[in-house]
Amino acid sequence: MNKTMKTELFEILVCPVCKGPLSYEQVASAEALRCFICNMIYPVVDGIPDMFPMDSNSERLTKDEGWDAWHTKLSNFVQWRRRTWDGSARAEKLQTNISDMNERFSDFTGLKDSSKKIIDIGCGGGGIRTLLGECRYYGIDPLLLEEHHYDFSMVKGIGEHLPFREGFFDEAILSQVLDHCKSIDRLVEETVRVISASGTVNIMQYIYEPGTLLDRLYKRLLRVYYSIKGVKNLDTKTMSFDRQELVSFFQERFEKVTFFEYSSSQVFIKATGWKKNRK
């Protein structure tokens, strides 16, 4: 059964390419959004607008900017997700660990029952939303989950080209997103653009410490696991960070950065006060 896009969502959307205003079009049961400035058309499927950026030749994401490689990683991630969440005891244990971590992260953000407008960039199925209580939650992700019920305002798109009005949101969440994006600089700049000047960027991110004993042991166990399973290792990451790299990145760009080390491989960060004139 087709769903109609929410009016409140349409009112905050802009063209992801030129940031121009959009018009709503409907022919029979098909919905679409058209940019007044660049004339690009974005389909709406089951109430969810597909706001992937398009180039002047109407092709999704220009190839000469490295988006082909990004698409390959994205395809690998889809395969990894199907392989990982297979209903096994291992998957259930992993989900329990992730749920515990998400709970701690939601406490760290201070956004529970805040009634603020929150954009979750790379939201997946919106799992964090259930931990935030009363708030105005919006999500965006390049991948839509199969047979998933999105009971919040959802957009299909990417963080480097956010299709939202400037300064609309109060807060932003980037949960396990930085190592899947194409450009971390572009992603953060766009995130800052769509939140208020006093807003906070809340980050939960996997970190990677190459060469450590833990890293070597993990790689060895991973090779054994894939050998036993008879499957290949899927490269899903576009980049990786160690602890200091990640903290330094945000300290260079924001006036105030709060850092919490959840574990040896996971960190939480809150960043406020964008340095507009940084060198």
Q: Please check whether residue 131 is in contact with residue 112, taking contact to mean a CB–CB distance below 8 angstroms.
A: yes
Write the burial class of residue 255 (CB in 10 Å: 0-12 exposed, 13-18 middle, 19+ buried).
Answer: exposed
Q: Please check whether residue 58 is in contact with residue 212, taking contact to mean a CB–CB distance below 8 angstroms.
A: no
Label the pairing between strands 153-156 and 136-141.
parallel
> What is the tens place of the pLDDT at every residue in 26-76?
877 789 999 999 999 999 999 999 999 865 444 455 554 667 777 787 787
Q: Please check whether residue 210 is in contact with residue 241, taking contact to mean a CB–CB distance below 8 angstroms.
A: no
111-131 mean pLDDT: 91
Mean pLDDT, the chain, as a whole number? 84
Q: Please check whether residue 131 is in contact with residue 107, taking contact to mean a CB–CB distance below 8 angstroms.
A: no
What residue spans of the chain are helical by DSSP H?
A: 7-10, 67-84, 89-109, 129-132, 184-194, 213-229, 243-253
What integer pLDDT is reported at residue 279 of this predicted model? 52
**Chain center to CA of 161:** 12
Q: Please check whether residue 65 is in contact with residue 167, taking contact to mean a CB–CB distance below 8 angstroms.
A: no
What integer pLDDT is reported at residue 271 of this predicted model? 97
User: Cα separation of 236 and 90, whole Å?
Assistant: 20
> What is the tens place of the pLDDT at every residue in 94-107?
788 888 999 999 99
> What is the tens place of the pLDDT at every residue in 192-221?
999 999 999 999 998 876 555 555 555 555
What integer pLDDT is reported at residue 94 of this predicted model? 77
**Percent of the chain scored above 70 by pLDDT?**
83
Closest C-alpha among 21, 11, 12, 16 to residue 160:
16
Helix (H, G, I), strand (E, B) or coil at 175: strand
User: Cα separation of 106 and 111, whole Å?
Assistant: 7
